[in-house]
Amino acid sequence: MVPKHEILSKEEEKLILKKYNASKAQFPKIYHSDPIIKEIGAEVGQIIKITRNSKTAGKSIAYRVVVDQ
């Protein structure tokens, strides 16, 4: 039931930030205490790629920055 969560590499982060012409501060946040973040071992400051199945789009991709509470 939980969509796929992946930690982006430093190079992938740079590409995403450039693609959207944005800083990490402008991306939606996800807390370091979130169970899925703990499961994948993500650290504060990393960008997470979330891939969901969508009935209309086929696949939906979202990005979140891991933050401390």
- How many CB atoms lie under 10 A from the CB of residue 6? 13
pLDDT tens for 25-52 read 999 999 999 999 999 999 999 999 999 9
pLDDT for the residue numbered 18: 97
pLDDT greater than 90 at residue 69? no
pLDDT for the residue numbered 8: 97
pLDDT for the residue numbered 5: 96
Nearest CA among 36, 29, 32 for reference residue 3: 36
CATH code for the part of the protein at 4-67: 3.90.940.20
Confidence of residue 63 (pLDDT cuts 50, 70, 90): very high
So where are the chain's domains?
4-67
pTM of the model: 0.90
